[in-house]
Structure 1
Amino acid sequence: MEKLKLIKKLLEDKKAEDVVVLDVSNLTNIADFFVIATANSTIHAKALADYLVDEMEKAGYTVDHVEGTEFGNWILVDLLDVIVHIFTPEWREHYGIEWIWAEARRVEA
């Protein structure tokens, strides 16, 4: 939970909106949690991802890889047991990741 709380705080500190944490541990083996956040633009999304990666590494967490920074509409930050999805509003609505993972329990971090 400490890791999730830090991720949520870092995103919210940099003005990410509608940050949601989903427990997907019983639904997939790719991660235990998804964190979903909205950025107000592709530039904001890239800045959020860069800040998150830097701060998580400073805190001693492993960042496995980052995808999507070339366009910035949907950036994925893989922290091994937690995958962070940073969307622009249009892409978050279009892909409906919360709907796809509707069986996942929401977690208050």
Structure 2
Amino acid sequence: MKTKPKKFKEIDTQDKVQLVAEWLDEKQATEVTAVDVQGICPIAEVVMVAGAKGVRHAQALADFILEQLAKDNIEYLGLEGYKSGDWILLDLNDIIVHIFQEDNRGFYNVEGLWSEGTRIKLNIQPQA
């Protein structure tokens, strides 16, 4: 019996986290963080959070991630909040990416919700 070819490229979660962090950094997202939530989150292995300087910036960050995923043939499952741009959520199957307006980020405190998780060191330069 022939196995069906994979539709999407298989990529290690940690490698995908680093790629997404680099994409966010390239488009000047602020305070990009990643938290390993394996064992405490039933729907993802990693939660990433990034700040945006405005609605159009948040939408541009989401657009760029989706473009890069398509270019690299990496699966994504869904997108929420794009129209308002206050809080955009991208579901990359094993990674959930939250893009917040800078003033909303503290209010929702997603990093605090997952404080039991372990911060992942990202190889990007912190934005000033």
Does the TM-score normalized on the shorter chain lie above 0.5? yes
Cα deviation, residue 102, structure 1: 0.9
Equivalent pairs counted in the alignment come to: 109
Provide the identity percentage.
36
SS of structure 2 residue aligned to 1:62: coil
- 1:105, 1:42 → 2: CA distance? 29
Q: Please, which runs of 5 or more residues in structure 1 have no aligned partner?
A: none
Match of 1:76 in 2: 89
Backbone CA RMSD of aligned residues: 0.8
Distance 2:101 2:51 in 1: 6
Please tell me whether Structure 1 or Structure 2 has the larger radius of gyration of its CA atoms: 2
CA apart distance, 1:63: 1.2
The match for 1:21 is: 34
CA distance in 1, matches of 2:53, 2:88: 13
One-letter identity of the residue aligned with 1:38: G
- Residue 32 of structure 1 aligns with an amino acid whose one-letter code is E
Name the amino acid aligned to 1:25.
Q
TM-score normalised by length of structure 2: 0.83
**Residue 70 of structure 1: how far off its partner (Å):** 1.1
Aligned with residue 63 of structure 2, among 50, 56, 64: 50
Structure 2: which 5+ residue stretches go unaligned?
1-13, 123-128
Could you list the per-position Cα deviations for residues 67-102 of structure 1 after superposition, in whole angstroms to 9, with x for gaps in the alignment? 001100100010000010000011111101111111
Runs of 4+ in 1 over 6 A off after TM superposition: none
Q: If the length of structure 1 is used for normalisation, what is the TM-score?
A: 0.97
Report whether the alignment pairs 1:101 with 2:114. Answer: yes
